[in-house]
Chain A
Amino acid sequence: MSTTRHAEPAVGTPPAPGRKESDGRTTRRPLALRLLARPEVGVFLGAVAVYVFFLVSAPPVREGSAMANILYQSSTIGIMALPVALLMIGGEFDLSAGVAVIASALTASMLSYQLTMNVWVGVVVALLVSLGIGFFNGWMVVRTGLPSFLITLGTFLILQGVNLAVTKLVTDNVATDDISDMDGFGQAKKVFASSFDVGGVQVKITIVYWLVFAALATWVLLRTRYGNWVFAVGGSKESARAVGVPVTFTKISLFMLVGFGAWFVGMHQLFTFNTVQSGEGVGQELIYISAAVIGGCLLTGGAGSAIGPVFGAFMFGMVQQGIVYAGWNPDWFKAFLGVMLLGAVLINLWVSRTATRR
């Protein structure tokens, strides 16, 4: 030991506190560039562009009632796009979100009708079923560690089959019976599917729910511990777990939140149309996911917002109704969606690259 010059243990003085105010290596980029780097701003500009496009090419869009209609269409997509976006920020997918809406509506409708009970019983049971589906998805994903894509693809197929088969078994039909004359229907319709008058224009209540949920989601995401956890489990599950974030709870609750959204939209559809078509909902999950992605949520998790998907859903609603108002063949809708999705993603990529460079 004496033969070597081994290092003395480092002296125990704490490192000197920083004297300078900044390390001088980062320069602040101009405000405009910093704003453009935010995906929400990109999708907002996209939404404005689509809006202006249809204002010009479809004159009926300029009327108030048309706007109410477009917002209504957006809200039915938007209410589901919110929990789907939160789940995506949390690093997971839910492909069963579309058919889960119908599963929830079918449960409420058939349960109330077949047992001749107050519709509220069906509504509450449907909520439990929806939360249960969400819990199952989340629990399976957390327990097995398999990609949520696979797990929820399974639930998607299961629900799709069960929806059709059970409905046929119970009603001998592909649709449920009309429940509009049952106890509590009027009440439930008021809650889930009423509309109110704003300056002579009928505005659907779902628009209000949509915006309230969006504000709530934004607050939770940015201002609460839970929101912090959502970003953390999506950004790096292992790191989050290592610093004590309850990863299992966060993931499962996010899936259950999608279940809640599915229940809410399902109830809206049930009390709007009085009956439910058991084969519907297929493909809707991709619309929700697209709205979230267009809204700037990172497909791999860890980044995104709640306000972005609001604009994403608005773009979809705008196109869906705008095509009708413009008098075009509505078959073009899906093609339009695809172009918009690709366009939005490319523009987001380009904008964030240009704005974050330098």
Chain B
Amino acid sequence: MSVKRDSLSVGLAVGAAGIAFGAVAVADHFTVAQACFLSLVLFSGASQFSLVAVMSAGGSPLSAIVTGTFLGGRNGLYGVRMAQILKLKGFKRALAAQITIDESTGVAIAQESSEDQRTAFWYTGFGVFFFWNIFTLLGALGAKAIGDTSAWGLDVASPAIFCAVLFPRLKERKLLIAGVLSFIWALSITQFVPAGVPIISTVVIAAIIGWK
């Protein structure tokens, strides 16, 4: 099954970047327990990195909470999309919510059939969850040994994965236009707005293009 294989390889590749999170969190004076708590309970890479970065730059807990929550906002929008595909209730819905992140949604929507979409969601979501948590712990414990994560290519693992999940979707013209505009928009405004805004504000582009 190539859907399962691809989903689990995303899980491993993205999960391995957890080593960067664990290492950065400890380097920024968070404890190993706090790093692991964030990966288990918050479980959203961008929010986790921003929370640690804001506090280590001297920001207040409130500003860390606002930035982290703002960056987590897109998971709610992914949830809206995934709920239509998964159609779950009760405990399974609560479980699916926790693993609703960039990767699980991205790999799911890249599939053709709704059965493959569901398989991709669960395998990618749990795959990332499993490896992300193991590697967070390893990174936190071995922070000094890894050194510079860029030297191991870990800083491009995640954008390369998103290119791969977007690529097959962008054959459709409207989707291609939406993707390219969002890319340009985000880079144009990033210097002038707080972290997270360049990403979440592209929802406006989706609304305008999807209107008619």
Chains A and B are bound partners: no
Residues of B within 8 A of A (CB): none
Interface residues of A (CB under 8 A from B): none
